[in-house]
Amino acid sequence: MELVDILKPIEADMQKVELQLRDAARAEFGPLALVIESIIESGGKRMRPAATLLAGRMFPQRDDNLLKLAVSVELLHMATLIHDDLLDKAATRRGSATINSKWDSKSTVLAGDYVWAKAAKIAAEVGNTKVLGIFADTIMVIVEGEIKQDYTGSSSNPNRDEYYTRIYAKTASLFEGALRSAAVLGNASDAHINALGMYGRKLGTAFQIIDDVLDFVGTPAEVGKPVGSDLRQGIVTLPAIIYYEKHPKHPVIASIAVKNGHSTLELEEVIEDIRTSPEMTAARQEAQELVREAQRALEALPKTKYRQTLHQLADYVVERKK
């Protein structure tokens, strides 16, 4: 099923989110507005606002606030991408040149700060202190995660615990916070808030694993990056970790995390080894299991079309090709 078909029940909401994102980009100052518009228009799947809206729609609540929450979540995501691209010195994102490959680092810092400030402003407009607390906590988790990654680097052995900790901070925490917030805004019970938080966390984790799988198997045209770009940067993700578990004596994979200098040829070879190994399927299966757990968490919630859509959204996360 295509994402656009899955999201039919919130089609009108998603269009409003898109318009509000464009409004948010309308910075008073021209050149910056162009840049932020280009980020917003480069698209992305809008998974975070979609999941936020679906969770929120399960409870009767004010449309305007739920929409603002969804917009603010996507802006926060974009802000972290901008600083992240700078930190990773990434050259492309979603197939387009990243801000920092077009701008200097100064402008990238400022653009990230601006989108971040805008996210905070819109979140503040929602006017719910509990939601703002979740928003602020999520920012802390994301930033602490980036710092840990930067300072500890990876340990000498590619390591599953580190990986899951890292992707929680990087991706799952925002899904978790967004879905909890949507439920809080709808005055949901603690049981429902927790169920949606759990769903968000599992979904976000699965989403990141599949992103990391697609980094190996997607074509550059599909994923907008060179094949194996994570490993080329010394970032060891689940497919490589499982591959290492099966081939602990592999000369390249074992030392990639400690960033011993590897030739491009060595990297190409190990990327090809991983890409064509059964470990790709094993990584997908881990994501699949998380999706099942996410779907089980939904069982605590009222049976509505929104719950059904969240269920389908979870299936989409592992089935997607880009």
Binding site for a second copy (CB under 8 A): 27-29, 31-32, 83, 86-87, 105-107, 109-114, 116-118, 120-121, 123-125, 127-129, 132-133, 135-137, 139-140, 142-144, 146-148, 150-151
Instruction: Give the Cα separation of 147 and 226 in Å (integer).
Output: 25
Comparison of 138 and 229: residue with beta carbon closer to a second copy: 138
Comparison of 174 and 314: residue with beta carbon closer to a second copy: 174
Cβ 88 to a second copy shortest distance, Å:
9
Instruction: Give the Cα separation of 213 and 231 in Å (integer).
Output: 12
Cβ 207 to a second copy shortest distance, Å:
23
Comparison of 151 and 263: residue with beta carbon closer to a second copy: 151
Cβ 42 to a second copy shortest distance, Å:
20
Cβ 149 to a second copy shortest distance, Å:
10
Comparison of 180 and 311: residue with beta carbon closer to a second copy: 180
Instruction: Give the Cα separation of 131 and 268 in Å (integer).
Output: 45
Comparison of 84 and 245: residue with beta carbon closer to a second copy: 84
Cβ 11 to a second copy shortest distance, Å:
30
**Among 208, 197, 222, 231, residue whose Cα is nearest residue 321:** 222
Cβ 121 to a second copy shortest distance, Å:
4
Whose structure tokens read 């077009």? 102
- Asked if 7 contacts 50 with a C-beta cutoff of 8 angstroms, the reply is yes
Cβ 255 to a second copy shortest distance, Å:
23
- Asked if 53 contacts 13 with a C-beta cutoff of 8 angstroms, the reply is yes
Comparison of 112 and 239: residue with beta carbon closer to a second copy: 112
Instruction: Give the Cα separation of 141 and 53 in Å (integer).
Output: 23
H-type alpha helices, the chain: 3-6, 11-25, 30-41, 47-57, 63-88, 99-102, 105-126, 129-152, 160-167, 173-185, 190-217, 220-223, 229-232, 238-246, 253-256, 264-275, 279-298, 305-319
Query: CA–CA distance from 209 to each of 146, 246, 307 (Å)?
Result: 17, 18, 23
Q: Which amino acid is at 214?
A: L
Comparison of 86 and 241: residue with beta carbon closer to a second copy: 86
Phi, psi of 94 (to 5 degrees): 50, 35
Cβ 70 to a second copy shortest distance, Å:
17
Comparison of 91 and 191: residue with beta carbon closer to a second copy: 91
Q: Beta strand 92-93 with 96-97: parallel, antiparallel or unpaired?
A: antiparallel
